């Protein structure tokens, strides 16, 4: 364990002014190497006494070495190393439990004292405790059992830990099944099998048992026998454990998530009992921090129950309809339907959402309170629950305008039912965390598309306290700027886009449109910042979809956005480019079959043939079928019900219409959108004599290759090079390259 004092800490009140005190520099272009070293802060939680705050600090460089070939292997965790920091807010000191970085899982503070339990997810998952007072890291023995890769970690009042572990034969079984599917030599699949082979393997990732361990003492106490574990929770006294068991009996094309589950409970050494025989159709299941209560939504109503109840009770929403009810069969239904948003730590209150607003239901007092009061003076914002203090008395909410970058953090008193706006400005706030008594608040704040910085302050955000700059190397640099752009699409509907431009840029610029679905907030986007730092305007435009006609959405939305930027003198109409990743790559290819306005296009890991994609990607189970029929692809029918829709939304079928120079970038081990799907477009355009290049990273996965630093750099160099080749005016001056 290493100890460092005041690493990159500055006063919170000074943070917004830091860049202003440093002489502005000329715009400099970011390098791929600089992007690898951009730091991201993730807030953990507060210790029980509110003195210590856990943080993770990571870079993309830390995540290099991803073995995409092992996608679908439940025993493999994608490397996502980060540095664990423990901030002593009383002294401003920073503790580092580990030497270097680790792939971290769940971290939980003890219910008393200042001991943090840490699950690591490296090649061999481990359980550790870190005593912040004694500054001592200890590995907790699990007696030879393998910690489940995705295990939760929970403390009991007496200092014991509950975790999920694997059965003895789990690891060799997983490896044997994976090797058989990947390497053979013979793999046989039969339609009468209950599950697709990759589904059956994926389900092994959920098979685990819950045990209790006393740090420093041998032996495990089994609480839940091996089962298909969806989630579990324990009461503070350690006497009662509840868990959800996945009871899905076969592969279903309705969803790629479990569709049938059962809720169990066990107290002491008693036999387990069923709390809910079926959770089919339920959504948003949540358990309270005290382990005694749970809540879920079903058919527009929200239910709350406890481990002592024989059945949950409906607290808001419509009563279940009787079978054959005429209202269910047809006609206009005006009933207000609710979704579960948040269950209080004590389980006595629940927040529900309906028609764009939040309502607090005080279960104990049988009252409902609309949270529209939390709007304060912010006009019609999106309001979301950020955190709920351990004692249940204080809610922290975030609010964001729907039309401008006007954001706020709001403190809401659950007892007095009053709201106070703690801060309101143009910054983007996230990961708001209250100490157990809500006397301190930690949050992340960002602006202008930068990675967020950490702020730590008192419970009213009135007193200056330490803050951690995520990327001090950027202080004073003239980096790209962001702007919210409003425009009308081809149907006259208002849309928003997020624009990033080089610092100090004037006049029409070569402009790139990065497409996907909807955009509004100016979150950090490394690719957009990279391109903007090299002289491009980058717009992320929003589109509105209609089921059955997704291909039209990008044509109506993206071209209208281009018109808006041209009219404002931002975009150079003769130098427009477009790209996207995954669904955005699919959009890019469909878009350029419908218009020749773009002079360069890049499809990154995006399908070009939805027909072959429909039954491909076996490691994702039925995800691609479900996506096409029901969710993201929005076809709205099976291939056999509407074959013409699948043809119409397969860009390769209309490759002869493409006149835009196209770069295709794929990963040879991409098991989301296989490279062979995108490859179809390369051979089609080559056959047609069009301008096309195909770059395949043999060991790469979905999107940017995270294999090696050189491949990461190569990907960015080719992306920029393609736009430079087709969009840059010859007289353009390039900014000086700098990390």
Domain ranges across the chain? 141-280, 282-318+338-356, 480-728
265: tokens are 């409970």
- Encode burial over 512-523: b for 16+ CB neighbours within 10 A, e otherwise: bbbbbbebbebb
Q: Are 211 and 162 in contact (CB under 8 A)?
A: yes
336-365 tens-digit pLDDT: 999 999 999 999 999 999 988 899 999 988
Half-sphere exposure of 348 (CA within 13 A, CB side): 9
648: tokens are 């119409």
Pairing type for strands 736-737 and 28-29 reads parallel
- pLDDT at position 17 is 23
What confidence tier does 379 reach under pLDDT thresholds 50, 70, 90? low
- Residue 672, pLDDT > 70, answer yes
Query: CA-CA distance, 237 to 153, in Å (whole number)?
Result: 15
* 480-728, CATH topology level: Rossmann fold (3.40.50)
- pLDDT at position 464 is 59
27-67 tens-digit pLDDT: 678 999 999 999 999 999 999 999 999 999 999 999 999 99
- Residue 615, pLDDT > 90, answer no
**Residue in 452, 442, 462, 352 with CA at minimum distance from that of residue 396:** 442
- pLDDT at position 507 is 84
Query: CA-CA distance, 177 to 195, in Å (whole number)?
Result: 14
**Residue in 278, 302, 281, 145 with CA at minimum distance from that of residue 213:** 145
732: tokens are 């353009």
Cα torsion at 704, 705, 709, 714 (round to 10°)?
A: -70
Instruction: For residue 129, give the 3-state DSSP assignment.
Output: strand
DSSP calls for 540-603: EE-----TT-HHHHHHHHHHHHHHHHHHTT-EEEEEEEEEEETHHHHHHHHHHTT----SEEEE
- pLDDT at position 327 is 52
- Residue 5, pLDDT > 60, answer no
Q: Are 304 and 294 in contact (CB under 8 A)?
A: yes
């Amino acid at each position: 364990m290493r100890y460092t004092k005041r690493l990159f800490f500055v006063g919170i009140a000074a943070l917004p002014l830091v860049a202003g005190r440093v002489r502005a520099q000329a715009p400099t272009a970011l390098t791929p190497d600089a992007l690898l070293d951009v730091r991201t802060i993730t807030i953990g939680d507060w210790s029980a006494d509110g003195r210590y705050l856990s943080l993770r600090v990571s870079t993309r460089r830390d995540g290099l070495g991803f073995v995409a070939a092992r996608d679908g292997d439940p025993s493999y965790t994608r490397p996502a190393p980060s540095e664990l920091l423990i901030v002593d807010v009383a002294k401003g000191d920073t503790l580092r439990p580990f030497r270097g970085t680790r792939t971290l899982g769940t971290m939980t503070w003890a219910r008393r004292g200042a001991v943090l339990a840490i699950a690591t997810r490296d090649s061999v998952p481990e359980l550790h405790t870190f005593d912040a007072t004694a500054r001592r890291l200890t590995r907790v023995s699990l007696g030879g059992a393998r910690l489940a890769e995705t295990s939760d970690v929970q403390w009991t009042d007496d200092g014991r830990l509950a975790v999920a572990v694997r059965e003895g034969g789990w690891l060799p079984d997983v490896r044997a099944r994976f090797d058989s599917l990947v390497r053979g030599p013979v793999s046989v699949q039969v339609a009468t099998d209950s599950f697709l082979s990759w589904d059956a393997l994926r389900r092994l990732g959920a098979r685990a048992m819950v045990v209790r361990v006393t740090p420093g003492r041998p032996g495990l106490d089994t609480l839940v026998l091996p089962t298909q574990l969806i989630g579990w929770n324990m009461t503070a006294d350690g006497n009662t454990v509840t868990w959800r068991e996945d009871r899905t009996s076969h592969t279903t094309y309705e969803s790629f998530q479990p569709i049938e589950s059962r809720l169990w409970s066990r107290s002491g050494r008693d036999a387990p009992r069923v709390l809910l025989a079926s959770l089919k159709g339920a959504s948003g299941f949540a358990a309270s921090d005290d382990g005694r209560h749970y809540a879920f939504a079903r058919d527009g109503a929200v239910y709350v129950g406890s481990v002592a109840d024989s059945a949950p009770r409906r607290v808001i929403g419509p009563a279940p309809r009787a079978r054959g009810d005429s209202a269910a069969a047809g006609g206009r239904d005006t009933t207000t339907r609710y979704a579960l948003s948040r269950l209080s730590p004590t389980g006595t209150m629940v927040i529900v959402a309906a028609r764009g607003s939040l309502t607090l239901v005080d279960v104990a007092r049988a009252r409902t309170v609309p949270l529209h009061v939390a709007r304060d003076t912010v006009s019609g914002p999106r309001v979301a629950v950020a955190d709920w203090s351990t004692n249940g008395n204080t809610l922290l909410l975030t609010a964001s305008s729907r039309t401008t970058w006007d954001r706020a953090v709001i403190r809401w008193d659950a007892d007095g039912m009053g709201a106070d706006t703690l801060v309101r400005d143009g910054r983007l706030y996230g990961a708001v965390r209250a100490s157990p008594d809500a006397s301190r608040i930690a949050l992340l704040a960002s602006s202008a598309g930068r990675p967020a910085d950490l702020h730590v302050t008192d419970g009213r955000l009135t007193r200056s306290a330490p803050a951690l700059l995520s990327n001090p190397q950027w202080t004073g640099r003239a980096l790209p700027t962001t702007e919210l752009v409003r425009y009308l699409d081809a149907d006259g509907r208002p849309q928003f886009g997020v624009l990033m431009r080089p610092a100090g840029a004037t006049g029409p610029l070569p402009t790139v449109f990065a497409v996907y679905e909807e955009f509004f907030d100016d979150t950090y986007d490394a690719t957009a910042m990279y391109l903007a730092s090299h002289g491009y305007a980058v717009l992320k435009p929003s589109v509105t979809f209609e089921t059955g006609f997704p291909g039209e959405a990008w044509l109506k939305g993206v071209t209208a956005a281009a018109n808006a930027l041209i009219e404002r003198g931002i975009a150079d109409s003769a130098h427009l480019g477009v790209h996207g990743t995954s669904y955005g790559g699919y959009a890019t290819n469909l878009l350029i079959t419908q218009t020749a306005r773009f002079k360069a296009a890049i499809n990154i890991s995006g399908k070009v043939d939805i027909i072959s994609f429909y039954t491909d990607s076996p490691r994702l189970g039925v995800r691609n079928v479900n996506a096409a029929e029901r969710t993201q692809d929005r076809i709205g029918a099976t291939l056999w019900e509407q074959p013409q829709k699948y043809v119409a939304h397969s860009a390769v079928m209309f490759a002869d219409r493409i006149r835009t120079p196209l770069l295709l970038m794929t990963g040879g081990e991409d098991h989301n959108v296989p490279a062979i799907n995108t490859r179809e477009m390369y051979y089609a355009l080559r056959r047609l004599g069009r301008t096309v290049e195909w770059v395949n990273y043999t060991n790469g996965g979905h999107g940017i290759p995270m294999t090696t630093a050189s491949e990461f750099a190569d990907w960015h160099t080719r992306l920029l090079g393609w736009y430079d080749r087709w969009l840059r005016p010859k007289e353009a001056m390039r900014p000086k390259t700098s990390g």
